[in-house]
């Protein structure tokens, strides 16, 4: 019996994604050497071996490119968060502290995050984590909610979303304006949030017991 061929990504879609990935990778390489304010779109295009118009066709404006870069960094950070959480599923407060520590430490070392923190308004980066942060927050909250539900499936989706949004907003705030080391901040936040997490898990356990009795 013949089997249907695997669905293949259309060439145009694959080529577009490859181009976007290459351009974002080149931007990251450039950021290792100098701040965002000193990097032009022509520099990024040249590093990728394409024209500046090709870059603009792929992303739109410089601001759109910057936002796309931030969203990709969010995905990268949260992939690491998922890995850390998975190592401490038996101890939710410890998982929270470890994940926050990893995120804050990685954010502090990220060249683009440093550019955002150092922005005096002239680079146009601050809105990415302030007034124009909605796409970043929505992406991060959605993904973190999934991580919470995957790790502790008994937690209600609404509660996971509430906790995720709280964590995302706190993480962005502390990454943008750190007041202590990442480990101290992470431990402090985990200590404050631990009772809330314990209550979420207790409520989830109660719902499971009630469902079993019905």
Domain ranges of the chain: 1-60, 62-213
Burial 45-66 (b: 16+ CB within 10 A, else e): bebbebeeeebeebbeebeebb
pLDDT of residue 176: 81
Tell me whether domains 1-60 and 62-213 share a fold: no
The CATH code belonging to domain 1-60 is 1.10.10.60
Kindly give, in sequence order, each residue whose CB lies less than 8 Å from that of residue 191, ignoring residues fewer than 6 positions away. Answer: 93
pLDDT of residue 83: 95
Q: What are the distances in angstroms from CA 214 to CA 157, 181, 201?
A: 22, 49, 20
- Residue 83 and residue 103: Cα distance in Å, rounded? 12
pLDDT of residue 131: 74
pLDDT of residue 121: 64
Fold of 62-213: Tetracycline Repressor; domain 2 (1.10.357)
The model's pTM: 0.83
Contact 185, 179 (CB under 8 A): yes
- Average pLDDT of the chain to the nearest whole number: 88
- Residue 75 and residue 159: Cα distance in Å, rounded? 22
């Amino acid at each position: 019996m013949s089997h249907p061929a695997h669905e293949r990504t259309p060439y145009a879609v694959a080529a577009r994604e490859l181009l976007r990935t290459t351009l974002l990778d080149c931007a990251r390489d450039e950021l290792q050497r100098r701040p965002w304010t000193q990097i032009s779109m022509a520099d990024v295009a040249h590093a990728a071996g394409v024209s500046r118009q090709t870059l603009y066709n792929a992303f739109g404006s410089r601001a759109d490119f910057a936002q796309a870069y931030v969203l990709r960094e969010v995905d990268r950070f949260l992939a690491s968060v998922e890995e850390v959480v998975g190592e401490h599923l038996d101890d939710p407060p410890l998982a929270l502290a470890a994940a926050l520590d990893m995120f804050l430490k990685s954010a502090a070392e990220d060249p683009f995050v440093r550019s955002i923190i150092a922005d005096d308004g002239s680079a146009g980066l601050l809105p990415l984590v302030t007034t124009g942060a909605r796409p970043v927050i929505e992406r991060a909250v959605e993904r973190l909610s999934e991580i919470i539900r995957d790790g502790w499936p008994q937690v209600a989706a609404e509660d996971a979303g509430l906790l995720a949004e709280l964590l995302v907003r706190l993480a962005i705030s502390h990454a943008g304006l750190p007041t202590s080391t990442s480990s101290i901040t992470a431990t402090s936040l985990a200590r404050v949030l631990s009772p809330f997490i314990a209550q979420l898990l207790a409520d989830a356990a109660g719902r499971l017991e009630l469902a079993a009795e019905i």
